[in-house]
């Protein structure tokens, strides 16, 4: 609440933001807040201004990782491929639609984001997916509000910043290729440390080859 006095000495109580000599009205202030919220939720996605000479679809998974280190910004399709490589050790999909469907099925990506294949992906979306893959649950606020889809990507960025996996920044900024390349390697180390790559193992017991009395069934 700011008190403004005009030249006639009449005091007026009016909520506003003062920037130099300009006064922003309550309606404009609320509009700005809404705009900031929309940007935070959906970003300002757009295709890359300059496309790389190399078509990543022609690269092996190993070549694709090297490609990421050089590309200025990462598209949604490229990020989805990178997430599958992180989660499974390989892409194994032939199209963007297959990658998107698989990531959404696992709860790694969200359909509500409405990301488009050729748009540059935001850091928050990547951070959220990495947290899901690496089983980073976050704090109470992250689990409560993030589960509702409110601030899910913002909280994910905070978690990764805390773990020094990404640099300090906002969730709606564009993800760079070098940033994703570094993040993938740090996430890979974290998954190995947490034992997420360990096999569930093969059942080598012979319990299925015993009769009701526990005697081993030997073929005649």
What does the pLDDT look like over 146-180, one tens digit per residue?
Answer: 444 446 899 999 999 999 999 988 888 999 999 99
What is the C-alpha to C-alpha distance for residues 208 and 219, in angstroms, rounded to an integer? 14
- 156 shares a domain with 99: yes
- 143 shares a domain with 63: yes
What is the C-alpha to C-alpha distance for residues 119 and 96, in angstroms, rounded to an integer? 12
- 76 shares a domain with 155: yes
Domain coverage including residue 95: 56-193
- 158 shares a domain with 61: yes
- 136 shares a domain with 80: yes
- 185 shares a domain with 87: yes
Note the pLDDT tens digit of each residue in 172-218: 899 999 999 999 999 999 999 989 886 444 443 444 445 565 554 55
Strands (E) located in 97-207: none
- 100 shares a domain with 34: no
What is the C-alpha to C-alpha distance for residues 52 and 78, in angstroms, rounded to an integer? 12
**What's the pTM value of the predicted model, to 2 decimals?**
0.68
């Amino acid at each position: 609440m700011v008190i403004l006095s005009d030249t006639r000495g009449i005091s007026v109580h009016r909520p506003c933001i003062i920037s130099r000599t300009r006064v922003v009205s309550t309606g404009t202030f609320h509009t700005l807040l809404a705009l900031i919220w929309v940007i935070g939720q959906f970003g300002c996605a757009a295709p890359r201004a300059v496309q790389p000479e190399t078509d990543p679809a022609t690269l092996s998974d190993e070549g694709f990782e090297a490609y990421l280190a050089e590309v200025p910004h990462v598209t949604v399709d490229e990020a989805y491929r990178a997430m599958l490589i992180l989660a499974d050790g390989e892409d194994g999909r032939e199209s963007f639609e297959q990658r998107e469907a698989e990531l959404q099925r696992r709860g790694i990506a969200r359909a509500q984001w409405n990301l488009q294949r050729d748009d540059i992906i935001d850091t928050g979306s990547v951070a959220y997916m990495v947290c899901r893959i690496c089983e980073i649950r976050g704090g109470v606020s992250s689990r409560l509000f993030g589960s509702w889809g409110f601030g899910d990507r913002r909280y994910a960025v905070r978690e990764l910043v805390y773990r020094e996996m990404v640099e300090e920044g906002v969730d709606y900024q564009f993800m760079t290729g070098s940033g994703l390349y570094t993040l993938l390697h740090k996430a890979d180390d974290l998954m190995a440390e947490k034992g997420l790559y360990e096999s569930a193992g093969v059942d080598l017991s012979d319990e299925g080859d015993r009769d009701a009395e526990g005697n081993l069934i030997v073929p005649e």
